[in-house]
Amino acid sequence: GENVEQHPSTLSVQEGDSAVIKCTYSDSASNYFPWYKQELGKRPQLIIDIRSNVGEKKDQRIAVTLNKTAKHFSLHITETQPEDSAVYFCAAFQGFQKLVFGTGTRLLVSP
Amino acid sequence: DGGITQSPKYLFRKEGQNVTLSCEQNLNHDAMYWYRQDPGQGLRLIYYSQIVNDFQKGDIAEGYSVSREKKESFPLTVTSAQKNPTAFYLCATGVNQPQHFGDGTRLSIL
C-alpha cells in the first residue's frame, strides 16, 4: 500500500520568510495530492491540491510542486505570517479508494 | 465544513461500553470516511464507504464498526474491543477523494 513520509516534523521561521515542507510517496499509481492545514483542536482544512498531470500549482502565497519521477511533492509558503502557524499535512490518494496522510509538520511563524 | 455535522463534540466512554459517533452530510457526496487522530499524530483511516450499503476497512478497523444505510449518514461505533479509544475522530466526505472534514468528536475514557 501507499506510504507517505513528511519532513520536517517541525519548522520555525521568521515572519516574512518562506517555508517549505516536503513529502515523498511510494505508490506510483497515486494521482492526487492534497495539503491540509490544521489549527489546534480544529479540523483539517484543504488549502491546496495537485493532480498527477500537473507539475505546479499556485494560490496566492501558497504553491505546490510535484515530481512524479522522484515521487515527491512539496508545499511552499511565501511571505509567512503568524496566522500561518499550524500543523500541515500532506496526503496521497491511492487509486480511487483512500487518502494516506503524512505525519504532519508543525509550522511556527515568529513575529 | 458547514455541510458535515459530527456529534457529539465530546464523548466519554465507560469500560466495556459501545459508543456511536454520528456523521451527517448534506453535500450529496457519495464517499464518506472515518479517521482517527492521536495527539501530535497524523490521520489514520478507520473505515470508508463509496456508496450506500457498502463500506471497506481502512488501516485500523479493529474494534470499530460502521453502517451506511443512507447517503447522508455514516455512523461509527467504537466497541468495547477497542482498548485504546481515546482520540480525536474525524469524518470526511468527498467525490471519490475526501476533501471536506467535519469538526470532529473527541472521545475519552472515563
Cβ neighbours of B100 in A, within 8 Å = 46
- Residues 20-79 on A with a CB inside 8 Å of B are 32, 34, 42-46, 49
Q: Which of A32-46, A54-68, A84-98, B11-25 has the lowest mean pLDDT?
A: A84-98
pLDDT grade, residue A97 (50/70/90)? low
Q: What is the pLDDT of residue B33?
A: 93
- The CA distance from A4 to the nearest CA of chain B, in Å, is 11
pLDDT of res. B99:
76
Helix (H) or strand (E) holding B65: strand B64-66
Q: Cα–Cα–Cα angle for A6, B61, B3, nearest 5°?
A: 75
Nearest CA in chain A to B102: A43
Is the predicted pLDDT of residue B1 greater than 60, yes or no? no
B33-87 tens-digit pLDDT: 999 999 888 899 999 999 999 999 998 999 999 999 999 999 999 998 888 999 9
CA–CA separation, A18 vs B15, rounded Å? 48
- What is the distance, to the nearest Å, from the Cα of residue B97 to the centroid of all Cα atoms in its chain? 16
In chain B, what percentage of residues exceed pLDDT 70?
95
Q: Residue B28, CB half-sphere, CA atoms under 13 Å: how many?
A: 0
Mutate to test the interface with B, among A45, A97, A105 (most CBs of B within 10 A): A97
Question: Please, what sign has the CA dihedral across residues A29, A32, A81, B42?
Answer: negative
Contacts of B102 in chain A (CB under 8 A): 43
For A12-65, what is each residue's pLDDT tens digit?
Answer: 999 999 999 999 999 888 889 999 999 998 999 999 999 988 899 999 999 999
Q: Do B44 and A101 touch (CB under 8 A)?
A: yes
Confidence band of A86 (pLDDT split at 50, 70, 90): very high
Chain A interface mutation, best of B35, B56, B97, B100, highest count of A Cβ atoms under 10 Å: B97
Q: In the A/B pair of chains, how many CB contacts fall below 8 A?
A: 46
Strand residues in chain A grouped as ranges (E) = 4-7, 10-14, 19-25, 32-38, 45-51, 56-59, 62-67, 72-77, 86-94, 98-101, 105-110
* Range B55-77 burial, b when 16+ CB lie within 10 A, else e: beebebbeebbbebeebbebbbe
Percent share of chain B, pLDDT over 90: 75
Which of these, B79, B78, B25, B77, lies nearest to B52 by C-alpha position? B25
Higher model confidence: residue B80 or residue A6?
A6
Which residues on chain B are in Cβ contact (under 8 Å) with A97? 48, 50, 56
